[in-house]
Amino acid sequence: AKKTAETKKSEGSARTPGPFWPMLKRDSKRAKMLTERKTAVFVAPGLHSYSIVEEPGFLTLMHVAVPEYQVPSRTTFSRSVVLGLYAK
């Protein structure tokens, strides 16, 4: 697919993790909030398959929205995150 000036502009505007913008640590408050409160609440009530968190479109969306956040694997979601959501 051809990239237009609009898509090139939007792709270049995202922050890229690096020395001045590091990746979030998995145990940081922000990473836990993004995992437990935002992504899990999207996956579970919407009855989405856990594999959605590994789909290229979802990963691209998350990278553009929060480039320093690493989305946990579907295994992590199914074994701990979503179960923890319902345990609360």
Domain boundaries, position 79: 23-87
In a domain, 37, yes or no: yes
Average pLDDT over residues 18-28: 77
Distance (Å, rounded) from C-alpha 82 to C-alpha 88? Answer: 10
**Exposed/middle/buried for residue 36 (C-beta within 10 Å: 0-12, 13-18, 19+):** middle
In a domain, 16, yes or no: no
Burial 39-75 (b: 16+ CB within 10 A, else e): bbeebbeeeeebebbeeeebeeebbeebbbbbbbebe
In a domain, 8, yes or no: no
The 10s digit of each residue's pLDDT in 26-79 is 888 988 888 888 888 888 888 899 999 999 999 999 998 888 999 989 998 888
Q: Are 15 and 67 in contact (CB under 8 A)?
A: yes
Number of domains in the chain: 1
